Structure 1
């Protein structure tokens, strides 16, 4: 999905999509949760000039929407997936539990999105090589957001994460393969 990028906003040392987004392409195949073999942790792609088209066009929402720097995935622990931008759904792919999950910024942003009529989903990765799981949490979060209850919001987010963590994860079936030239 090609979306316009915010000028001057770069991934920097963030490589979370290179770690947590599964790829199964002819030239590059890597399971969920494993850092791409072409990625240098904290520095980025070592084959940037010849990377696959998917890697050229897929960006997290932090790169395409005006969000605070605290939302950058390596800082927040959340990759906001772009997949639902055109359909009105924001998926918070929680790849690491950080204090950001308890922040006013998360609460305020989710409240704003809900107020704009967007749906909210939360997703988590399982063990390396398994598909992530997700749940639409819009209706579950609305009572806390509507009441301005940040503590209740955090408790609901934590309950969703605990429930997703207990899910039986399915193997992604992806075998690593690197052939970018």
Structure 2
């Protein structure tokens, strides 16, 4: 991601990316949905100074886009993925259904993004060791956003999540390997 990070916005105790993102690197390999063994839940990386380059450069969009602190993934249950944003795609990776997800902030943001021409993706994790699923929901959500119909938006978002949750999740094929060392 080439977007600059917002000054003063830190991950803090949020470690959701350390849990959900699959890694298959020579020095670090972990299945999708498994908290990295180097991560201290609620505190962060125990090998922060020597973490792999992939971990150094991946940030959710909450770190780069002016969004309220409520969007922080551990609070919201949503990771706003950076991949695709420069190509006009926004993906909401829904970790869990929450009041925030169905609240005014998400409705307003998605309404704005669709009006600005962004494609909206919705993604959900499967069981540990399986790949998440993703679907483009722009056209499905558009009628509710154009009509400023929050209730309709919630119904459509819920229905899309139900469809994704019913998906047959594929194994990610990643074997655990923890070998990060100081050079």
Which residue is 2:146 aligned to?
Answer: 146
Which residue is 1:72 aligned to?
Answer: 72
CA distance in 2: counterparts of 1:40 and 1:133, whole angstroms: 27
Check conservation: 1:2, 1:57, Cα contact below 8 A.
no
Cα displacement (A) at 1:3? 2.9
Cα displacement (A) at 1:100? 0.9
Cα displacement (A) at 1:96? 1.4
**TM-score of the two chains, using structure 2 as the length reference:** 0.97
**TM-score of the two chains, using structure 1 as the length reference:** 0.98
Structure 1 stretches of at least 4 aligned residues deviating more than 6 Å after TM superposition: none
Check conservation: 1:39, 1:46, Cα contact below 8 A.
yes
Instruction: Give the paired residue count.
Output: 181
Which residue is 1:14 aligned to?
Answer: 14
CA distance in 1: counterparts of 2:146 and 2:115, whole angstroms: 9
Deviates more, 1:100-109 or 1:39-48: 100-109
Residue 100 (1) aligns with residue 110 (2) = no
Residue 158 (1) aligns with residue 158 (2) = yes
- Gaps of at least 5 residues in structure 1 are none
Check conservation: 1:2, 1:58, Cα contact below 8 A.
no
Cα displacement (A) at 1:101? 1.5
Cα displacement (A) at 1:45? 0.2
SS in structure 2 at match of 1:160:
helix
CA distance in 1: counterparts of 2:2 and 2:32, whole angstroms: 22
CA distance in 1: counterparts of 2:27 and 2:157, whole angstroms: 37
Q: Cα RMSD between the aligned structures?
A: 0.7
Residue 51 (1) aligns with residue 51 (2) = yes
Which residue is 1:171 aligned to?
Answer: 171
Cα displacement (A) at 1:4? 1.0
Query: What's the CA shift string for 1:47-69, capped at 9, x where partnerless?
Result: 00000000000000000111111
Query: What's the CA shift string for 1:44-95, capped at 9, x where partnerless?
Result: 0000000000000000000011111111000110001000111100000001
SS in structure 1 at match of 2:101:
helix
Query: What's the CA shift string for 1:89-110, capped at 9, x where partnerless?
Result: 0000001111112100100011
Cα displacement (A) at 1:2? 3.9
- Gaps of at least 5 residues in structure 2 are none
Which residue is 1:120 aligned to?
Answer: 120
